[in-house]
Amino acid sequence: MIMGRGLVNRLLALIAACAALAVASAAQAEDGYRLWLRYAPLEGEALARVRALPLVVHADQDPTVALAGEELVHGLAKLRGEERRPGVVITASRLARPLPPGSLSFECRDSAVPPGGAFAIKPADGGLRISAGEPIGCLYGAFALLRELSLGRNPAKIDLDERPAMPLRLLDHWDDPNGYVLRGYSGRSIFDWWKLPEHLDQRLVDYARADASIGINGAVVNSVNASPLFLTDRYIPKLRRIADAWRPYGIRLYICARFSAPKDVGGLPTADPLDPAVQAWWKARADALYAAIPDFGGFLVKANSEGEPGPQDYHRTHAEGANTLARAVGSRGVVIWRAFVYSAEDQTDRAKQAYNEFVPLDGQFEPNVILQVKNGPVDFQPREPFHPLFGAMPHTRLMFEGQITKEYLGQATHLAYLAPYWKEVLDAQTGRGGTVAQVIAPAGMAGVANTGSDRNWSGSHFNQANWYAFGRLAWDPTLSSAQIAREWAMQTFSRERGFIGKVVPMMIASREAVAEYMTPLGLTHQMATGHHYGPGPWICNLKRPEWNPCYYSRADKGGIGFDRTASGSNALAQYAPSVAAQWADPRTIDEDYLLWFHHVPWDFRTPSGRPLWGELVYRYDRGVATVDEMAATWASLAPYVDPERFADTADFLRIQSREARWWRDASIAYWQSINGLPLPAGTRPPEHSLDYYKALSFPEAPGE
């Protein structure tokens, strides 16, 4: 049978339409790989405004300038809903010839803009111009403009003048050469050292692009429990291949250096930092690295902490150890020395040890040494007061260290947006030199990275928000948690008001929920041993006292909490008097820090009118209830989110809801076994006995 031409054409049109629908449907399926750089097509008036904006790009051979231009071309095409590239007008450097009216242009060597990544986006000739003093500023400006347009901003009203608040904005990767990631919950390491230098995975380039989009300008590529391999000649070509790929994105490469490397791989009988042969070895290693990587960032060192080697092995100080490496590096880079130190031999409060070791050394470090200080004095807990070292060493540069990967906040599956957590610390008044953010401004911020080989990079889609938030706060710590959450959610999921109006409050509430169902009222480190997964408040028999949760709770028949006032460890005295006064009285202290600083009776009357025991149970229940509300909120947002990412998040919220109850029930069962008190009236009892919870074992848990 022969079909008529009209029928054939109609069938072909139908096939084409079906194919187009299939493509459109496939385009809706998302796996999270594109992060916040999706550049989802705009709609309505916002789309019309962007389509009316011509693009002008420099004829510039600088690779960073080329990336900025390519990002604008790519981003505008996506925002316009076009697969083709928008029309591009190529101009000579410094915009030597007239531009079409309403153009978008950029000038990357504008002497009026300071160096260091600063940029300006200003109206010009009816259009917009991105100006920067150096190429990396132009790349940051390109990303900033695309972010503003992605949020639906009117190009005619965009007027930005930005510069980073601090010079170093780093990610620390706790990755081993064999691909294992310490405290990583998103797959294996993104660094495949076995295949380098011959093969560089595209993922490393995409990672650098994502970092640059939020202003991150450096990465430490290996674990703080460092392998000496990274200081050998065999690894220098591997490191160079990565550094070369990252350079156009403004990402400098750093490595963790093992303090004992002169012995481990250098053939020396000692690693004593004052031994001339050791000093010469470090100088030779630094010279070899800088010969291969001229912009090598420097070394990060963990020393005399958790059994790692360090200068104290040779009766030398941290300053003497750091200065040996700093002199080897010289003006070419920095030595970042971690202040996370504690020793089983030190019988004082673990929270006091870093302050006691480092404050007497203030002013003794070389100018290119930076002390990297954790946000709190113990270890990335769901809530800690800010570290007392901030503000206490005015003659030493201090750098903030936060943990983006959620070792103690539910790991991969619990939704915990960490911007409010970091803001608590950054905004805290130290009583010595302003806020924490002001104290660290001359140095910077480092975050323990949560990136891995999982397709969505971070183990869960909402964990991406913490990577994003860290970069944004390192660039500008005055940004609010809600503003950052809104930016991320609009770029990552949906611009619809119905979505943003619900998801942003959910994110803001999430970290507080975790703190309440895990460690309410200032309790800390109640996690199980080793993997830090799940509750273990009953653990009291570990070799080192400060590894035991009961060390921190000090729970007994008479009460609960760690007395850090003058009647206890007196850790409170390490803070400025104006700060210590806020926390000295259990009757007036912010309840979020009550049990951190005070051991109080179970019947202690809290501001709510409830006795401490009743308030503790109330907080556990409120944390669980908040997670249930988060799950219900997410369920209502299905119309706004692609099915794959919606289902992944819904699954993880179910896990979080179940595990929040586990945390609540196991903790309450243990405290009851200590205090012998009945549950407050109307309270649901734990689902299982205390023995049941104690018997649970997770040998396959991530991070074990």
Give 651-677 as a DSSP string.
HHHHHHHHHHHHHHHHHHHHHHHHH-P
87 and 174 share one domain: no
Predicted confidence at residue 58, as pLDDT, reads: 57
Residue 301 belongs to some domain of the structure: yes
Query: For residues 181 and 147, what is the distance between their CA atoms, to the nearest angstrom?
Result: 31
Residue 635 has pLDDT above 50, yes or no: yes
Give the 3-state secondary structure of residue 254.
strand
Predicted confidence at residue 104, as pLDDT, reads: 79
Asked if 348 contacts 354 with a C-beta cutoff of 8 angstroms, the reply is: no
225 and 344 share one domain: yes
Residue 584 belongs to some domain of the structure: no
Residue (of 106, 155, 156, 114) closest to 131 by Cα position: 106
Which is more confidently placed, 62 or 117? 117
b/e 363-390 (16+ beta carbons within 10 angstroms → b): ebbbebbbbbbbbbbbbbbbbbbbbbbb
Residue 38 belongs to some domain of the structure: no
H/E element, 141: helix 135-150
Predicted confidence at residue 702, as pLDDT, reads: 84
Predicted confidence at residue 460, as pLDDT, reads: 98
Q: Return the structure tokens found at 387.
A: 């570290």
Query: For residues 266 and 531, what is the distance between their CA atoms, to the nearest angstrom?
Result: 33
| 248-262 mean pLDDT | 98
Phi/psi of residue 396, nearest 5 degrees: -135, 135
Residue 543 has pLDDT above 80, yes or no: yes
| 30-47 mean pLDDT | 97
Residue 128 has pLDDT above 90, yes or no: no
Helices (H) and strands (E) in the chain, counts: 21, 16
243 and 270 share one domain: yes
Residue 90 has pLDDT above 50, yes or no: no
Predicted confidence at residue 57, as pLDDT, reads: 61
Predicted confidence at residue 23, as pLDDT, reads: 34
User: Which band of pLDDT confidence, cut at 50, 70 and 90, is reported for residue 366?
Assistant: very high
143 and 193 share one domain: no
Q: In which residue are the tokens 């007036």 written?
A: 588
126 and 200 share one domain: no
Give the 3-state secondary structure of residue 155.
helix
Residue 15 has pLDDT above 90, yes or no: no
Query: For residues 256 and 298, what is the distance between their CA atoms, to the nearest angstrom?
Result: 9
CB-facing half-sphere around the CA of 616: CA atoms within 13 A? 34
Residue 75 belongs to some domain of the structure: yes
pLDDT per position as a tens digit, 573-597: 999 999 999 999 999 999 999 999 9
Q: Which amino acid is at 518?
A: M
Residue (of 511, 512, 494, 514) closest to 503 by Cα position: 494
Tell me the percentage of the chain whose pLDDT exceeds 70. Answer: 92
pLDDT per position as a tens digit, 293-322: 999 999 999 999 999 999 999 999 999 999
| 672-678 mean pLDDT | 98
Q: In which residue are the tokens 């169902």 written?
A: 517
Residue 551 has pLDDT above 90, yes or no: yes
Rg of the chain over Cα atoms, rounded to whole angstroms, equals 27
- Average pLDDT, rounded, for the chain: 92
Predicted confidence at residue 433, as pLDDT, reads: 87
Domain boundary among 140, 162, 184: 162
User: Which band of pLDDT confidence, cut at 50, 70 and 90, is reported for residue 73?
Assistant: confident
Range of lowest pLDDT (274-283, 395-404, 540-549, 674-683): 540-549
Predicted confidence at residue 17, as pLDDT, reads: 36
Predicted confidence at residue 59, as pLDDT, reads: 53
pLDDT per position as a tens digit, 198-212: 999 999 999 999 999
79 and 225 share one domain: no
180 and 268 share one domain: yes
Residue 349 has pLDDT above 60, yes or no: yes
Residue 98 has pLDDT above 70, yes or no: no
Predicted confidence at residue 3, as pLDDT, reads: 38
User: Which band of pLDDT confidence, cut at 50, 70 and 90, is reported for residue 86?
Assistant: low
Residue 518 has pLDDT above 50, yes or no: yes
| 640-653 mean pLDDT | 98
Residue-range definition of the domain harbouring residue 639 = 517-562+599-695
Residue 13 has pLDDT above 50, yes or no: no
- Catalytic residue numbers read 306, 379, 407
Predicted confidence at residue 19, as pLDDT, reads: 36
| 431-459 mean pLDDT | 97
Predicted confidence at residue 14, as pLDDT, reads: 34
Domain boundary among 162, 189, 220: 162
Q: What is the domain count for the chain?
A: 3
Is the torsion defined by CA of 612, 570, 374, 262 positive or negative? Answer: negative
Domain boundary among 131, 162, 193: 162
| 442-456 mean pLDDT | 98
Predicted confidence at residue 648, as pLDDT, reads: 98
Which is more confidently placed, 172 or 51? 172
Residue 129 belongs to some domain of the structure: yes
157 and 180 share one domain: no
**DSSP label of 35:** T
Q: Return the structure tokens found at 663.
A: 């945390």
Residue 297 belongs to some domain of the structure: yes
Phi/psi of residue 19, nearest 5 degrees: -65, -40
Residue 230 has pLDDT above 50, yes or no: yes
N- to C-terminal Cα distance for the chain?
Answer: 70
Which is more confidently placed, 277 or 108? 277
144 and 189 share one domain: no
Residue 333 belongs to some domain of the structure: yes
CB 347: neighbour CB atoms within 10 A? Answer: 7
CATH code assigned at 323:
3.20.20.80
Q: Return the structure tokens found at 674.
A: 């200590």
Residue 93 has pLDDT above 70, yes or no: no
Q: Return the structure tokens found at 104.
A: 């978008």
Predicted confidence at residue 87, as pLDDT, reads: 53
CATH code assigned at 134:
3.30.379.10
144 and 191 share one domain: no
Predicted confidence at residue 12, as pLDDT, reads: 32
249 and 350 share one domain: yes
Residue 437 has pLDDT above 90, yes or no: yes
Residue 167 has pLDDT above 70, yes or no: yes
Residue 506 belongs to some domain of the structure: no
pLDDT per position as a tens digit, 381-406: 999 999 999 999 999 999 999 999 99
pLDDT per position as a tens digit, 486-513: 999 999 999 999 999 999 999 999 999 9
Predicted confidence at residue 2, as pLDDT, reads: 36
CB 426: neighbour CB atoms within 10 A? Answer: 25
